[in-house]
Amino acid sequence: MPVENNEANLKICRDFCGQCPTFKENKLKEQPPHALFCARGKSDIAEKIVDKGCTCFICPIYKRDNLQGGYFCIYGIEGKK
C-alpha cells in the first residue's frame, strides 16, 4: 500500500528529512516535491543529487508502512535501492 500524501505524514517527514545529509546538502527543500518522497516520488533534480547518506531507514513512516529500499529522493518508491 502506498504512503499517503497527507499533512500528518508530511510533518513526520519534515522531522526526518530535515536531518538527512543528502536532503540538506542538495537543498531538496527548494526543489519539487520538497519532501515526503516516499509518497510524492523522487526529486525533480534526482539525477543531480549527491549522495551523502539516507535517513529513510529510521523514519517512522518507513517502519510503519514496511517500506523497502531507501533514498526515495533519488529513486522514488518504485526505484528501490
DSSP, residue by residue, 19-63: T-HHHHHTTGGGSTT-S-HHHH-S-TTGGGPPP----GGG-HHHH
Q: Long-range contacts for 66-69 (Cβ within 8 Å, ≥24 apart)?
A: 67/3, 67/38
User: What is the pTM (predicted TM-score) of this model?
Assistant: 0.88
Measured CA to CA in angstroms, residue 26 lies from 51, 74, 80 at distances of 9, 11, 20
- Identify the pLDDT of residue 18: 78
Per-residue pLDDT tens over the stretch 16-62: 777 899 999 999 999 999 999 999 999 999 999 999 999 999 999 99
pLDDT score, position 4: 95
The predicted structure's pLDDT at residue 81: 45
